[in-house]
Amino acid sequence: MRTGIFLSYAGGFKEAAEQVVQLEKVGVDIALVAEAYSFDAISQLGYLAAKTSTIELGTGVVPIYVRTPTLLAMTAAGLDYVSDGRFRLGIGTSGPQVMEGFHGLPFDAPMGRTREVVDICRQVWRREKVAYDGKHYQIPLPADRGTGLGKSLRLINHPVREDIPITIAALGPKNVELTAEIANGWQPIFFYPERADDVWGDSLRAGYAKRDPALGPLDIMVSASLAIGDDVEDRLAWAKPQLALYIGGMGAKGQNFYHKLATRYGFGEVADQIQDLFLAGKKEEAIAAVPDDLVRNVSLVGPRGYVKERLAAYKAAGVTTMLVHPLAIDGAEAHRFTEELVTLTSDI
């Protein structure tokens, strides 16, 4: 099992980058930078590429709506170049809150657009003349929609790799099936290992049945909050604001992926309560309503032996890369937690 770290996108990036430099030395395999409505992920990854030499770098994730497929491919090829072949493109759809509320773009056809984006990126990296007649993207633009002067072009530069790994963040059954079919990696959030097969097993198997063997095994990259020690039980509360935000506030009733996931995990009643409180503006009460059991089952928080048992459960559920958010009081503690994680995963 590989280990990875998520960098905060809410501030202090240079300090976080220095932490990655140190974690690279102790064997952390990958560092991811997310993109929400903060600084863009790409400029930060360029900075990281210059500061590091061996650790894999990736987006975790960038939304597919805000860049054209060819720009995504160009950007990925550029980051792969400046990192000497260490880049992984993580993509996702985000949600209507960010796409409509921050970018002013419609949130439409997430599955269809995802498939076409992946197809076009791979054409660009192979340096083919990009010619694509999809439902959502047509390259070159048809004459009846443009000037008629556009011709198929290929990437001028020769990419370091023509098969840059693509990871897709997906939660819904059909999205997960698509990911298992076409992607190099899958990045789910709030992964409960003992319930994962019940929730996603059929989708993964359906996708694997259509998967090109040349893609190799799917890298299942799971994120979890991390705190290791005999006195870290209080850190469970530190993870609750994120769960409350996602379950309660990331979507209207009936249109919230994370609420549906918590419900499928068996926490439907409490998910309804969290959502009702959050949407009513009672955010602190929504946070308090998040049960310890839910946090514990989607996190790595507890004594060393307990965390090792949880890692074994993740591995048994098919997880190949463990991505963590340290629940730490400072950088030194975050480093200690992550270094201990590397040691524990090497024993599993």
Residues 150 and 263 in one domain: no
Residues 120 and 134 in one domain: yes
Residues 78 and 46 in one domain: yes
Residues 201 and 78 in one domain: yes
What does the pLDDT read at residue 9?
Answer: 66
Coil, helix or strand at residue 108: coil
Per the listing, tokens 């994370």 go with: 258
Domain boundary among 261, 278, 299: 299
Residues 335 and 294 in one domain: no
Alpha helices in the chain (DSSP H): 13-25, 41-51, 69-82, 96-101, 110-125, 173-182, 193-209, 235-238, 240-244, 257-262, 268-279, 283-289, 292-297, 304-316, 331-346
What does the pLDDT read at residue 11?
Answer: 66
Residues 295 and 263 in one domain: yes
Residues 162 and 288 in one domain: no
Cα separation, 97 vs 344, in Å, equals: 38
Burial 118-132 (b: 16+ CB within 10 A, else e): bebbbbbbeeeebeb
Residues 36 and 140 in one domain: yes
Residues 160 and 247 in one domain: no
SS (H, E, C) 116-169: HHHHHHHHHHCCCCCCEECCCCEECCCHHHCCCCCCCCCCCCCCCCCCCCEEEC
Per-residue model confidence as pLDDT tens for the chain (348 residues): 999 999 876 667 888 889 999 999 999 999 999 998 889 999 999 999 999 999 999 999 999 999 999 999 999 999 999 999 999 999 999 888 889 999 999 999 999 999 999 999 999 999 999 999 999 999 999 988 989 899 999 999 999 999 999 999 999 999 999 999 999 999 999 999 999 999 999 999 999 999 999 999 999 999 999 999 999 999 999 999 999 999 999 888 888 999 999 999 999 999 999 999 999 999 999 999 999 999 999 999 999 999 999 999 999 999 999 999 999 999 899 999 999 999 999 988
Residues 190 and 95 in one domain: yes
CA angle 160, 162, 163 (to 5 degrees): 115
Residues 116 and 248 in one domain: no
| Counted domains in the chain | 2
Report the predicted TM-score, pTM, of the whole model to 2 decimal places.
Answer: 0.95
Taking each helix axis from N to C terminus, what angle separates 331-346 and 13-25, rounded to the nearest 10 degrees?
30
Domain with 237, as residue range(s), is: 231-299
CA angle 117, 137, 148 (to 5 degrees): 140
Give bridge partners of residue 186 from the DSSP assignment. Answer: 168, 220
Answer for the pair 193, 319: CB distance below 8 angstroms, yes or no.
yes
Cα separation, 155 vs 169, in Å, equals: 27
Pairing outcome for strands 132-133 and 138-139: antiparallel
Burial (CB count within 10 angstroms: exposed 0-12, middle 13-18, buried 19+), residue 145: exposed
Taking each helix axis from N to C terminus, what angle separates 173-182 and 110-125, rounded to the nearest 10 degrees?
10
Cis before 124? omega within 30: no
Residues 209 and 239 in one domain: no
Cα separation, 59 vs 44, in Å, equals: 10
CATH of the domain at 35: 3.20.20.30
Q: CA separation (Å) from 148 to 128, 151, 319?
A: 21, 8, 48
What does the pLDDT read at residue 254?
Answer: 87
Pair of tokens at residue 237: 């509360």
